[in-house]
Structure 1
Amino acid sequence: MNVSSIPSFGLRGKKAIVTGGSKGIGLTIATGLAHYGAEVMVTGRNEEALKDAVRNLKEHGYDVKWKRADVTSKEEVEELFSYADEVFGQLDILINNAGMNIRKPLVEVEEEDWDQVLNTNLKGIFLVGQQAAKRMINQQSGRIINISSILGQVGNPLQTSYAASKGGINQLTKVWAAELADHHITVNAIAPAYIKTPMTEGFLQDPERVEQILSRTLLKRMGEVEEVIGPAIFFASDASSYVTGQVLYVDGGWTAN
């Protein structure tokens, strides 16, 4: 083996967009990308949350850009990418992360609940992925990383709309991988289990729910949000150049149990 051919996990010079980047998994991945050398732009619906996140990152030495955008709006997504074109001039990495959840029993799910979750989690993934793909096709390179969930694979109560959206993300990942491979673009997904984030902190206060989760998790603990950084850097870097169409479960062994 030629040692000089060992692939790099470094991202220096790469340009990245992270949706849902003001908190939780999105903000953590954005921090990881910046740490490994990428130039990063975070986006989300809440402008003040974005400003706070970027201010905090700059205090730690990461010069991250931001742009407010609602991923359910085609116009706002197009404006986001036009702005990124001006700032970056290219797009190498998309972290397609924006998402939400409304937990209700099936018989209590309202039509507006379904629409809100599917519009954000699936339509938003599509709209953002489409704009990224157009740019990556033009430059004949790129990495699209969709953030899914184990609930796209396993069944769990109170997750009708969320699980449907995440199952859809898994299939989009495979379809896009097949469609974009000839353009030297890889498409993969990261599917975490229950990670400690602002979106999960509420129901993780319930000891019974926590016990149910731990009973299914081989490692017998919740995931820490920083544990999603490694998979994201792998998929974003040259180290994953022969990997596409995959869903990587970051789940403490849940799906192996």
Structure 2
Amino acid sequence: MLELTDRVAAVVGAASGIGQAIAIALAEQGAVVECADVDTTGVEETVAAIVAAGGTAKASTVDVRVSAEVDDLFARVVADRGRLDIAVGTPGINIRKPLIDYTDDDYTAVTDVNLRGSFHVLRGAGRIMAKQGGGSIIVISSISSRAVEPGQVIYAGTKAALAQMVRVLAAELGPAGVRVNAIAPGPVETALTVPIRSSAAWADAYAQKVAVGRWARPAEIAGPAVFLASDAATYVNGEVLFVDGGWVDLDAQFADESAVGSP
């Protein structure tokens, strides 16, 4: 049910991190993948990795903040392949500082990528998939859509807004056979989290918030994306799938191992 042979996918943000891992994972399951990103070198490296493993992929340069570029990307995919079965939007940025220290430029930088960019992906893919009568759209939210952390007001706000956008769009496009879902990762080893991981104490504090006691690898977010894109998830719509190792729903950790029951 997870097989994606001959499905046509477009992954926006495929040059690195979670987007790169998702593009590779979709290709491993047989999808034909259009890998797009503003980072031309990175996206070409992703395509090279897919092709070297026997997959089919093509590189495109796109700035997710520009609606015409996103629309043109999806139009090219349809022109080349005849349809668009899977669309994934992963770009996101964060500027960590208290709200009262935020500048107008800070606010614009974060919202332009996280909200405006995701809106462009949702709208562009949604228009095409509604006409063709089916498809799966996946975007990346965050545990910050529910978890509270000082210095995250604007980032958390965009990710919470995106979660609600997914739910409403799923209701709008569901009758046309289009599924819209989001993945909300916990701490993941990507370029976005380098400022945290560069501090051993800070990185360890994040790891200890997770039931499994460690950060996620990007590939561990790619598996859920494959699921949401596949026929295994044909009845999953309007969901925000938390892939956080147990961060959000676990309020406490056992400090005494003797208190933990043996299997």
Using structure 2 for the length normalisation, give the TM-score. Answer: 0.91
Aligned with 2:3: secondary structure? Answer: coil
Q: Distance in 1 between matches of 2:234 and 2:175?
A: 13
Q: Distance in 2 between matches of 1:110 and 1:250?
A: 31
User: 137, 148, 160: which one pairs with 2:153?
Assistant: 160
Partner in structure 2 of residue 144 of structure 1? 137
User: 89, 92, 95: which one pairs with 2:82?
Assistant: 89
Aligned with 2:205: secondary structure? Answer: helix
Return structure 1 stretches of 4+ with deviation > 6 angstroms. Answer: none
Q: Give 1:78 deviation, angstroms.
A: 2.0
After TM superposition, the structure 1 = structure 2 runs for residues 8-19 of structure 1, keeping only pairs within 5 Å, are 8-19=1-12
Q: Distance in 1 between matches of 2:219 and 2:75?
A: 30
Q: Give 1:215 deviation, angstroms.
A: 2.8
Partner in structure 2 of residue 199 of structure 1? 192
Aligned with 1:248: secondary structure? Answer: strand
Q: Give 1:213 deviation, angstroms.
A: 1.1
Question: Which runs of no fewer than 5 residues in structure 2 stay unpaired?
Answer: 251-263
Partner in structure 1 of residue 255 of structure 2? none
User: 177, 180, 186: which one pairs with 2:173?
Assistant: 180
User: 6, 9, 25: which one pairs with 2:18?
Assistant: 25
Partner in structure 1 of residue 162 of structure 2? 169
Q: Distance in 2 between matches of 1:78 and 1:94?
A: 12
After TM superposition, the structure 1 = structure 2 runs for residues 1-257 of structure 1, keeping only pairs within 5 Å, are 8-257=1-250
After superposing the two structures, state which structure 1 stretch, 243-252 or 73-82, moved more: 73-82
Q: Distance in 2 between matches of 1:49 and 1:134?
A: 28
Q: Distance in 1 between matches of 2:5 and 2:104?
A: 45
Q: Distance in 1 between matches of 2:48 and 2:235?
A: 36
Question: Which runs of no fewer than 5 residues in structure 1 stay unpaired?
Answer: 1-7
Q: What are the Cα deviations for residues 162-205 of structure 1, in whole angstroms up to 9, with x where unaligned?
A: 11110111001100111111011111110001101122123212
Q: Distance in 2 between matches of 1:197 and 1:209?
A: 15
Q: Give 1:101 deviation, angstroms.
A: 1.4
Q: Give 1:137 deviation, angstroms.
A: 0.8
Q: Give 1:103 deviation, angstroms.
A: 1.6
Aligned with 1:256: secondary structure? Answer: coil
Aligned with 1:17: secondary structure? Answer: strand
Amino acid at match of 2:86: I
Aligned length: 250
Q: What are the Cα deviations for residues 100-123 of structure 1, in whole angstroms up to 9, with x where unaligned?
A: 112222222111111111111111
